[in-house]
Structure formats: C-alpha cells, structure tokens
Structure 1
Amino acid sequence: MPTVTVLQGPRSVELKRQLVARITDSFVDTLGVPAETVQVWIQETAPDSWGQGGTLTADR
C-alpha cells in the first residue's frame, strides 16, 4: 500500500483534489497498484510557520 506525504503551504480544496488524483494515477500507471491502495496525506503549514534559505516564508 503506497503512502505519499505532501508537505506544503495551504491550498484550495480543489487543488488538493487534483493533486491527490494525479499522485494516485501516477502510482497506478507506474507500479500497477490498485487506486484504492494509494494513500495521500497532505500536511499544510502556514507561511509564518516555516522558512527557506534563512527567511520566513511569510516574509517573502
């Protein structure tokens, strides 16, 4: 059972639906696993709670 974790900033529900569908399709097409076995976990973090390159994302 493949499990994928996506760490990202907040996105709309529609974008998350598309992301989950495309990730699932990729596993089905590449590995031949049944779609119902693919789990996608989306963990969203607010821009003021993470940074990159020494800068808080909210300050970019």
Structure 2
Amino acid sequence: MPTVMIYQSPRPPELRAAAIKAVTEALVEAYGLQPEQIQVFFHEVPDERWGRGGVLASEPKSG
C-alpha cells in the first residue's frame, strides 16, 4: 500500500482535497492499484518554521 507524505505550507482544505485526488489518480495509473490502497498524508509547516537558501520562508523575497 503506497503512502505519500506531502510537506508544505498550510493550504485550504479544498486544495488538499484536490491534491489527494490528483496524487491518487497518478498512482492508480502508474501502479495499477485501487484508490483504496493509496494513502496521502499532509504535514503542514508554517512558513516561519522552515527555510530555504538560508532564510525563513516567511521572510520577504529580495530582488
């Protein structure tokens, strides 16, 4: 049973639902599974708790 973990900034429920549907459909197609065999989990991390390029994601973009 494939398990997908998605790490992201918080998103509205309707976007998470759309992502779950798209990921599930992709794995059904690629692996030939039933949708019920696929699990998708979200780990939502606020922008002030992670960084990229040495700065917090919540910092304004420069340039």
Is there any run of 5+ residues in structure 1 with no aligned partner, and where? none
Match of 2:2?
A: 2
Letter in 1 for 2:4: V
Q: Which has the higher helix share?
A: 1
Q: Which residue of 1 aligns with 2:41?
A: 41
Aligned residues: 60
**TM-score, structure 1 normalization:** 0.97
Structure 2: distance between partners of 1:6 and 1:26: 15
Hey, what does 2:17 align to over in structure 1? Answer: 17
What amino acid maps onto 2:12 in structure 1?
S
Runs of 4+ in 1 over 3 A off after TM superposition: none
Distance (Å, rounded) in 2 between the aligned partners of 1:28 and 1:20:
12
Please identify the structure whose Cα radius of gyration is greater.
2
SS in 1 for 2:58: helix
